[in-house]
Structure 1
Amino acid sequence: MVVTIPRCLLACAAALGIAAGAAAADLREGFAAAGALSPRLQALAAERSVLLARRERSEALTPGAPFVLAGYRSDRLPGDRGLREYEGEVGLPLWLPGETRALRAAAVAQLAALDAAVARERLLLAGEVRAGWWAWQDAVAARRAAQGRVAQARALERDLGRQVAGGLAPEADRLAVAAALREAETALRIAERAVRQEAVAFRALTGRLPSDGPAEAEAAPPGEGADPRIAAARAAEAAGRAAEGLVRLRDRANPEVVLQFRHERDARGEPWGSRLAVLFTIPLGHPPLQRERLAAAQAVTTAGTAAALASARAVAGGIALARENRDAAGAVLHAAGQRQAALAEQAALYEAGWRAGELPLIEVIRVRTALAEAEAARLRARVALGRAGSALNHAFGVEPR
């Protein structure tokens, strides 16, 4: 069922610079729309190109670009005896032993960690969308109860107006009913404002106005390590270990091979000579710098390990708490339904007693007020049960679907 958007909601959206003709969305559609707008997901998607380029670099022939050096030397100043020298060099950096394999493993691990981070970020976003959509549903339930209360009060006011006009009821009763109607209308205006506020908040997150839709079906518990939060922490730990292995191999700068060509003469009239040389640059390690880099990499791995353990504990505790909340919400809904049914029966008896002249009108108003509050509690308890089921799915690490 699709909820019709009130005119006051559209006016509020227009006041905020939001187009009033936007399509509405239920929980699943709102989550999809929020995912397309999320700057955090867009930032993670942009990181993928960096990691793909790093993986491609591990397949290159050299770790860096070749370089060319050209030189010319003469003795024109201060004297010119004819010395001339032309020199050119072409150099290539070389991979360290095992560096390409370690770089590729680190890039692959970082890509896996990125995918896991995207899944975790989507789950966090799902929690925000769920909270916003259920807050709107709760406000809608309160408004529906307030509308029912106003309808009943207006019906009683019309009925009593006819009785007062016919001399069958005192004016004091009409004034009491009018006061009760004004109170109900005030409550309705407050409830309508709450609905508008929650709709605008949902729109800010998703770009869509909220609409009614089916509640989430309870999902099956995830398998071992399938929760996005645990998977992301473990993937980050694995990426840290891969980066640590790369740091161990990169204990020095990359060596270089240089091909050098020189064409020269010592003086005017002497023959030109040419030389070709092959040079190797073999950097030496610097233990203090290597220890610093390795300690930094190990700190990242240690943090990932601790985060993986903490995520596992948090997920297990969250599932247990969500199950308790769902069971409690079911019990509250059952009790609220029984209370509403009892008050409805009591209200019917009181109204019959008032019409028979056995009870004063104030008792009817009192029991109707209690009935309206019970109906509001029942409607909101039903929403709370749906919210608890949605929270259990979130604890399982399942997106709205």
Structure 2
Amino acid sequence: MTRSVETTSSEDSELSLPAPKERRRLREAAELTHDEIAAAVGVTAATVRSWESGRTAPRGRKRELYTQFLARLAARRQDGGPAGPPGEAKTARAAEEPAADPPVPDPPTGDTPTPDPPASDRPTPDTPASDRPTPDTPASDAPSPDARTEPEQLPAEPPARVPVPGPAEAFDALYALAARDLARQAYLLTGRGALALEAVEKAFVQAWDRWPEVATDPDPVGWVRAIAYEYALSPWHRFRRAHRQLDKPPAEPADRILLDALLALAPANRRTVLLYDGVGLDLPDTAAETEATTPTAGHRLVHAHADLADRIPELADVPLEKQSALLRDLFTALRPAVDLEPRPAAVVRGGGERRTRLWTRATLSLTAMIAVSTSYTLMTAPTHYEPPPAPGESVSGVPPLAGPQQLTERGKQLHDKLRADPEAGPARIAPRIE
């Protein structure tokens, strides 16, 4: 049983995007630069030039932002009439500025006929006669138009101070924006829910440790995404017992086929097709994030689409130009069988700070131990050189050691006689009379 996926929204977005020449004409009519368009959409100026030349096309969220921005430019151009050449056209910022105050006419003189007052200023039957202006009333007593229309001057109040969010609030906002989507993308890369959540947390912990660099990065989500992808696709996880087996497959047969087809791709091709078709990056940005050249990323994408078409029945009957839109819908509709809810941002940020404190304390303890060992060695080490003792030598003039003397001839005879006597033993001690 296969599941049909609707592609109406993607086709509508393709139809609503103007042609490359129309994009450039709208930008020039509004007197905007490539850098200003890039800053509004969230891409680089080179990407905007590529879109206007027709070499590449925006995808995903960037396509929607670019289409809405061009629609606003076209609406402003229609409201202001046909735009002239770029040098005479109004900029988008000038169109939003309020118009200047109209000039105040000079007060009427005696020779100039006074125009009739408007209907709102004419006396009505309900107006008392005392309030009606008479010809004898001097002009100075009549309220001037400025006095009637000018509002009462109130004391200027100081503008309310908007609190500037700190680093923790900015990190929490980034985490709430991208953590759940990154966990889903890491799951599509690995097929393991625990590893996906671990990769996202590792990436955000590293982002918090280097927050000044991440906060000033033009694409902080891309910075965190690159770290999460690298950690999730690390080959060292195969040696971990907890990540050797895949998680429970999805319940839908179409989701199982899609996930098995993705995991059968090479890691580089899997990452390329997920960035291009799932996230919606264009080919140059995909090549830059995968640290490859644009032709290499294109070849990887072509091979990945061919392998997926062989494994996914729904993709085999779709033309090549519509495979990306169908894959994007399939990635969005996939429902994992595991929970991919990341932990709160405060917990992740606190865990990173706690880990940093532990490493700092361990480093300080090791440094203290090395310092103590070095001090003890310096205190107990000899301060001068002591040569080893020389080997022994013969010394003359010293008397030999005292000991038993050599036996004489008579002594040897007595010695032999005592040893040869048959009555050896205690009986020899008793005296014998001869």
TM-score, L = length of structure 2: 0.22
Higher helix share: 1
Higher strand share: 1
